[in-house]
Structure 1
């Protein structure tokens, strides 16, 4: 018979991301952040390829990224409001971890499984931060998919891309609960 973990089940049943714009100071220091990164790195990883890595972005780095948004090639396709919104993700932040997908050549592990593993790392880091008492949010946005931005601002290699920015800080406002999926509507049971 399984042994339930009510504390963990309650956390999963009630977890809620905190909007990045509501996260303030203080933020976790390196000693507090390293255990969260270690927890995230325990994510499923078929083939033990470690198809991901972390880039910890502190305040000065985030402000530098904000300044580079209007200069990236993708900015040409966006109006001033979209550019300002993309910059705000960085100017409002005090700490974010960029989770970088690193596609590794493998005859056995398809690229899509490496992508799924990286997504699992993002969620695990988000949950580790929330479970540690911090507010946290997983964001991406169009700059994270712009090669000029990712290569020019974060020095990503051609086989790398940003899976998300996990913003971590002190919650300043509790977010309201939001509607959740209707499980009956999205679940199919197959018995035979």
Structure 2
């Protein structure tokens, strides 16, 4: 398949549809190298990666569940289980962390966009290696208790959690916007 064909057919796989096997360490490192090859004005690398394997995902799940229950003490066991399993839905999850900060020449917005580009490159790298992937945020990307558990500094943000694994099934395409609705030509 050519790169053009792959880009034309790229489709996220929902995290709940991802199963083992996931990428081994060498493959994941290659995927992260690809993810880091994004536009980066000033060569600041305004992002970093936190790899969450199954064991770390289970530990982090306990923190997620505790935070969820602290906010919703009436949560059902089913809701608690969903929260506890948030980082074990796929064999590996990568938190793409935006480290955007004030800079005399490079606007923070450009740095944030670079982190988003790293998320997309990681999706493409997963697909290029034969895996499925999904870029998700959800409430756990914004809750300070979870960000602290991930080791984020106060100025860092999660640009996305990229869940990676083997798709249970091939996903059908979803409707895409018509160019006439999203393109303005001057």
Aligned match of 2:181 in 182, 185, 190?
185
Does the Cα contact within 8 Å between 2:135 and 2:163 map onto a contact in 1?
yes
Aligned match of 1:126: 123
Aligned match of 1:176 in 164, 168, 172?
172
Aligned residues: 184
- How many Å apart are 1:104 and its aligned residue? 3.1
Aligned match of 1:92 in 89, 92, 103?
89
Aligned match of 2:5: 10
The runs of 4+ residues in structure 1 deviating greater than 6 Å are none
User: SS of 1:63's equivalent?
Assistant: helix
- Structure-to-structure mapping, 1:14-163, within 5 angstroms: 14-72=9-67, 76=71, 80=75, 84-151=81-148, 153-163=149-159
TM-score (norm. length: structure 2) = 0.91
- How many Å apart are 1:89 and its aligned residue? 2.5
Q: Supply the distance in 2 between the matched residues of 1:182 and 1:70 (Cα, whole angstroms).
A: 41
Structure 2, gaps ≥5 residues long: none
Aligned match of 1:3: none
Deviations 1:3-38 (A, max 9, x none): xxx811100001111111111111111111111111
User: SS of 1:72's equivalent?
Assistant: helix
Q: Supply the distance in 2 between the matched residues of 1:79 and 1:47 (Cα, whole angstroms).
A: 49
CA gap 1:44/1:147 in 2 versus in 1, 3 angstroms? same
Structure 1, gaps ≥5 residues long: 1-5
Q: Supply the distance in 2 between the matched residues of 1:59 and 1:72 (Cα, whole angstroms).
A: 20
